[in-house]
Amino acid sequence: MSLLEVNDVKITYQTPDSEVHAVNDVSFSIEEGDNYGLVGESGSGKSTIAKSVLGLLDDNGAVRSGSVTFKGRELSGLSEEEWRDVRWEEIAYIPQSAMDSLDPVMSVGAQIRQSIRKHRDVSKAEADDRVDEVFEIVGLDPARTGEYPHEFSGGMRQRVTIAMALALDPDLIIADEPTTGLDVIVQDKIVHKLLEIQEEIDSSLLLITHEVGVVAETCDKVSVLYGGKVMEQGDTDDVFGNPQNPYSMGLKNAFPEVDEFDQQAISIPGSLPELTEPPTGCVFRNRCPFATEACESEHPDLVESADQVSACHHVEDASEMQTDATDPLT
């Protein structure tokens, strides 16, 4: 049994004049101890998936079909009280921009203590001991628990949010863009800290990012998302070492530091299609340099290719595409 299983999930948002098909038939599973990456550009549905796992979708969002199970237990249909136990105690969530949403008028230690005492029947002193402990785990000085968010740098504030996530000893940590907005050196420190912590507390990690380099450094397995669809899925080394999908190839080229070859950064021209219509044809076809007529009829299924799975009507030509993709995708 996997720790987390997301099966064929479809999620839409209702807006005044349309319906946004944000996530379409997404499936992936995380085994105990795994570091799993969800990568894709802005708007590909990453945060929507994270929020649906935690039952925290925006009010206008709904899971239309599919299921999410955690340790074999179906999560949809939990009562608010049951959700409260799952959140934080079992699955901790570091939301996108968490470090900017710390309460500015409460010391960081008091914020962590408050979240501990919301879930555990412990004394203030016991909660404070735990705050000191998690401060140490994330590499912050416990002498600083009485300070306010503005007294910390961006990287340190992010460590505070990680400390808060760890406080209840979760089995899975979901971190949504934990390094965005931080400079490269601090990003690297945060990534290494997350890995160190995960080993220490023996949890699993679902890491959401648009940066291939971060996934390559952190995650054993990855799903590459585009337009609410999984385009490619497998071991990170396979997916970015030998991509089988034009979108992953483009993403990899956009982040040349993960490439063995000395390559220029290439951005993928174009932008995501409107998601207000259920996608017909391959969702990436408008930007794909290899698209043909066949790509207009239906979105391709995920099929095995090399050691991973890829959704592409031309997956059998993947090796040829890789050669071509070393040229800018124009």
Footprint of Mg ion (CB under 5 A): 46-47, 96
Distance CA(38)–CA(210), nearest Å, equals 8
Distance CA(272)–CA(207), nearest Å, equals 22
Question: Least distance to ligand ATP from the beta carbon of 179, Å?
Answer: 12
210 binds, among Mg ion, ligand ATP, none (CB under 5 to 8 A by kind): ligand ATP
* Strands laid side by side in the 91-94 sheet: 91-94, 172-176, 204-209, 35-39, 221-226, 229-235, 308-311, 302-305
Q: What is the 3-state secondary structure (H, E, C) of 93-129?
A: EECCCHHHCCCCCCCHHHHHHHHHHHHCCCCHHHHHH
159 binds, among ligand ATP, Mg ion, none (CB under 5 to 8 A by kind): none
Question: Least distance to ligand ATP from the beta carbon of 41, Å?
Answer: 7
Smaller CB separation from ligand ATP, 18 or 319: 18
- What is the rounded end-to-end Cα distance, in angstroms, of the chain? 44
Smaller CB separation from ligand ATP, 128 or 177: 177
Question: Least distance to ligand ATP from the beta carbon of 39, Å?
Answer: 9
Question: Least distance to ligand ATP from the beta carbon of 14, Å?
Answer: 8
Question: Least distance to Mg ion from the beta carbon of 176, Å?
Answer: 6
Question: Least distance to ligand ATP from the beta carbon of 124, Å?
Answer: 36
According to DSSP, the residues that pair with 7 across neighbouring strands are 67
Distance CA(306)–CA(316), nearest Å, equals 10
Smaller CB separation from Mg ion, 34 or 41: 41
The closest residue (CB) to Mg ion is 47
Sites of contact with ligand ATP (CB under 6 A): 13, 15, 20, 22, 40, 42-48, 58, 60-61, 96, 210, 275
322 binds, among ligand ATP, Mg ion, none (CB under 5 to 8 A by kind): none
Smaller CB separation from Mg ion, 178 or 234: 178
Smaller CB separation from ligand ATP, 62 or 306: 62
Residue 184's alpha-carbon distances to 62, 74, 80, 176, 195, in angstroms, are 36, 39, 39, 17, 17
∠ CA(137), CA(139), CA(140), 5° rounding? Answer: 110
Smaller CB separation from Mg ion, 44 or 111: 44
